[in-house]
């Protein structure tokens, strides 16, 4: 959706503001252009007045020609985005503005002029694939790069799963070792390797069922 600011809130300009605006315009530019010499953004002149930033060509058009209607934009007939000459400006709808822009550049989007991907693979034949973006627009994709990217993602996924499994086993072994150590400490036994060592001078207790008549308690 095209959103156009309301320039009527700042017009007409005060004498000091008009003087500041005209002082940064060079009327002796090539092809009769009035070239803006102040700050610019994306190739278009910008000026800050009353705490807000305004497009210079749009401000000049509304100040010297007429008010721009809703859904209209100001087009540069000369093709120079820094030009502020009212005779080189025209208020048109955005669709016509885009059509003029494409015609001036051969009616071909600059992306369609790219014949190879960034890694040097040709964007043609079986290596060319079309995908749709979030807004439903189609874009070209290199199949070789896409397959390599999928393979790399799969390799990373398996590496992450293997790392998670490894550290889970390490944590389980550590918990088991701590449980054995806690049980041994409660009985006064220290774990040495896989065997249990008793304190000096203490005899081991008979296991359950190993004493006479299957005694369950230590023999006095």
pLDDT in tens, 48-65: 988 888 999 999 998 899
| Confidence at 208, pLDDT banded by 50, 70, 90 | low
Q: Which residue ranges form the domains of the chain, and what is each CATH number? A: 7-107 (3.90.75), 109-190 (no CATH)
What angle, 0 to 180 degrees and rounded to 10, lies between the N-to-C axes of helices 15-23 and 56-64? 130
| 140: nearest Cα among 119, 123, 126, 121 | 123
Q: Which residues contact 60 (CB under 8 A, 6 or more apart)?
A: 21, 34, 84, 86, 89
**Average pLDDT of the chain, as a whole number:** 81
């Amino acid at each position: 959706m095209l959103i156009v600011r309301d320039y009527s809130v700042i017009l007409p300009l005060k004498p000091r503001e008009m003087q500041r605006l005209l002082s940064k315009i060079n009327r002796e530019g090539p092809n009769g252009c009035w070239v803006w010499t102040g700050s610019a953004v994306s190739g278009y002149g910008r000026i800050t007045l009353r705490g807000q930033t305004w497009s210079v060509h749009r401000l000049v058009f509304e100040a010297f020609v007429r008010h721009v209607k809703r859904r209209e934009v100001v087009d540069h007939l000369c093709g120079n985005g820094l030009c502020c000459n009212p005779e080189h400006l025209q208020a048109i709808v955005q669709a016509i503005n885009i059509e003029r822009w494409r015609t001036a550049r051969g009616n071909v989007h600059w992306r369609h002029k790219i014949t190879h991907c960034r890694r040097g693979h040709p964007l043609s034949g079986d290596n060319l694939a079309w995908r749709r973006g979030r807004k439903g627009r189609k874009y070209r994709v290199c199949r070789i790069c896409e397959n390599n990217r999928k393979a790399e993602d799969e390799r990373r996924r398996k590496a992450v799963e293997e790392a998670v499994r490894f550290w889970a086993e390490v944590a389980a072994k550590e918990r088991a070792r701590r449980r054995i150590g806690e049980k041994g400490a409660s009985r006064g036994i220290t774990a040495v390797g896989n065997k249990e060592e008793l304190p000096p001078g203490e005899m081991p207790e008979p296991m359950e069922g190993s004493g006479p008549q299957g005694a369950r308690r230590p023999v006095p």
